[in-house]
Amino acid sequence: MSVLWCMPVLLLTIGSVGEGLAQESLGVRPLLAMAPKDLHTILPPGSHILIEPRALEQFLDALDKTPPDWGLVYGHGHHDSARDERLFTLNRERDAKRVGNPALAQRITFVWDGELSRYDAEAGGFRVVIGPKFTPTRWGVVRFKYEDFSGNLVAKVSTALRGQLERRIARGESIAITVAMTGRLIPEESVLYDFSHDQEGLGVIMPIVKVEQLDYLLTDK
């Protein structure tokens, strides 16, 4: 039940291989020159964008009603032999209460940080590396997870933009992008509650999403 608070950037190929062309193409997307505030213009109808703390809090309010009593669950922390059992009980109780909640069926969009890597001529785009975002809220720190999917993460660009980006990478520049992931919570394991390993007693909420759509936004121009 541990969470990696300072998580390294994830590599490009994720999940198991051989789940078909639909999964393979999920991570191959155009790189869009678009600010996150305009994200709604390219998302499926009815998508709930969960980026800002207020939006996250409202979603968690609808899903689980009230934040956990983190202090009670934490107790004496790592020196408290019953802490893990209390955390396990919290997760099982919340899973049970969440059954049938309409929020489980909502299509949601969250973002991770991304960075362009080398240009892959065979794939027809820039390889992408990604890492999670951590958002403080009154519930605790929210950090989205996703169900693994197969395939590479590749951002496709025009010929002109490819040249510009390759020159920047050759100069040693880092090219940051925003990776938007859209999907639905996994009903049987929709949210995981845990504690940070870097800050004593800090609660972490991890919604777990089956991703249906990826979008790459060029935020570093």
What confidence category does residue 7 fall into, taking pLDDT thresholds of 50, 70 and 90? very low
> Packing angle between helix 53-64 and helix 83-98, nearest 10 degrees?
80
Residue 186 has pLDDT above 80, yes or no: yes
pLDDT for residue 24:
58
Q: Taking all residues of the chain, what is their mean pLDDT, rounded to a whole number?
A: 89
pLDDT given at position 149: 74
Give the mean model confidence (pLDDT) for residues 34-43: 92
- Can you tell me which residue has the tokens 């892959």? 120
pLDDT at res. 36? 86
Q: What would the pLDDT profile of 136-156 be if each residue is shown by its tens digit?
A: 999 999 999 999 876 789 999
Write the pLDDT tens digit of every residue in 85-138: 999 999 999 999 999 999 999 999 999 999 999 999 999 999 999 999 999 999
CA 46 to chain centre: 19
Total domain count, the chain: 1
Measured CA to CA, the distance from residue 83 to residue 101 in angstroms comes to: 28
* 1 domain-assigned: no
pLDDT at 20 over 50: no
At residue 10, does pLDDT exceed 60?
Answer: no
Is 125 among the domain residues?
Answer: yes
Q: Is the pLDDT of residue 2 over 50?
A: no
Residue 98 lies in a domain: yes
Identify the domain containing residue 186 by its residue range. Answer: 21-218
DSSP string of 64-104? Answer: HSS---HHHHHTTGGG-TTHHHHHHHHHHHHHHHHTT-GGG
The reply to whether 65 falls in a domain is yes
pLDDT 10s digits, 48-75: 999 999 999 999 999 999 999 999 999 9
The answer, yes or no, to whether residue 18 has pLDDT greater than 80, is: no
In a domain, 16, yes or no: no
In order of 39, 49, 180, the CA distances from 44 in angstroms are 10, 11, 12
* 3 assigned to some structural domain: no
- Flag whether the pTM goes above 0.95: no
- Please indicate, yes or no, if residue 4 is contained in any of the structural domains: no
Strands (E), the chain: 28-32, 48-49, 108-120, 125-131, 135-137, 140-142, 145-146, 154-156, 176-185, 191-195, 203-218
Largest CA distance in the chain: 60
In a domain, residue 123? The reply is: yes
Quick one: three-class SS letters along 130-152?
A: EECCCEEECCEEECCEECCCCCC
